[in-house]
Chain A
Amino acid sequence: QSVLTQPPSVSGAPRQRVTISCSGSRSNIGNNGVSWYQQLPGKTPKLLIYYNDQLPSGVSDRFSGSKSGTSASLAISGLQSEDEADFFCAAWDDSLNGVVFGGGTKLTVL
């Protein structure tokens, strides 16, 4: 059971917009920044979002992040088939004194 809760799967048609939620608590998301990672099949995780809503250089602006209270969301607009991947949220947890990940969400582009 992961400390951060994500839906196991989401899906959307090409060109649609989908969102992935990440629910935590005050000790993690509530007090700290959230990051998001994309893991394409068989590949290394890639940083998509840091500090809740910041995009690293080179990441498409079709990806966006937000945070409210103890929950965060990743939005992907203009869905493309190559977006099919697993997505993970993460944050520092002040109570555990470590980084916690969500269980991951598998995105299927219909």
Chain B
Amino acid sequence: EVQLVESGGGLVQPGGSLRLSCSVSGLNFNDYWMTWVRQAPGRGLEWVANIKQDGSHTYYVDSVKGRFTISRDNAKNSLYLQMNSLRVEDTALYYCARVRGRAYFDFWGRGTLVTVSS
């Protein structure tokens, strides 16, 4: 059974940092691009970042470029999102998911909630 489990969310002040983790099991993690997608409360889905199998290529939505860093540790079957200079508008449920065909996501975690507030 494929499982993706996010962790690391919480309450942080504007300007602060958080590191999200996604632990993956049930698939050959090394073989796939991975992604982070977020959903603000009561809003739609927003893609955040993609990372290639070996971590050599990454893509980001413009609003997080220079502040967020996606990374992975294939030995630990884990995906990460380092979030710095957090803003109120980054408040959202953050999902990790497996990428297929560059742009569709077939397995999702349940998400971890990030709240940025003073």
Contacts and interface: CB of A to CB of B under 8 A. Distances in A.
A45 B108 contact: yes
Given A47-B104, A90-B103, A98-B47, 6 more contacts: A2-B44, A33-B104, A37-B45, A88-B44, A90-B47, A99-B35
Given A98-B59, A101-B46, A104-B45, A45 B101 contact: no
Contacts, number: 64
Interface of B: 35, 37, 44-47, 50, 59-62, 95, 100-106, 108-111
B108 A96 contact: no
29 contacts: A2-B44, A32-B102, A33-B103, A33-B104, A35-B103, A35-B104, A35-B105, A39-B45, A44-B110, A44-B111, A47-B104, A47-B106, A50-B104, A51-B104, A86-B44, A90-B45, A90-B47, A90-B103, A96-B62, A98-B59, A98-B60, A98-B61, A99-B47, A99-B50, A101-B44, A102-B44, A103-B44, A104-B44, A104-B45
A60 interface: no
Binding site secondary structure of chain B: strand
A90 B99 CA distance: 13
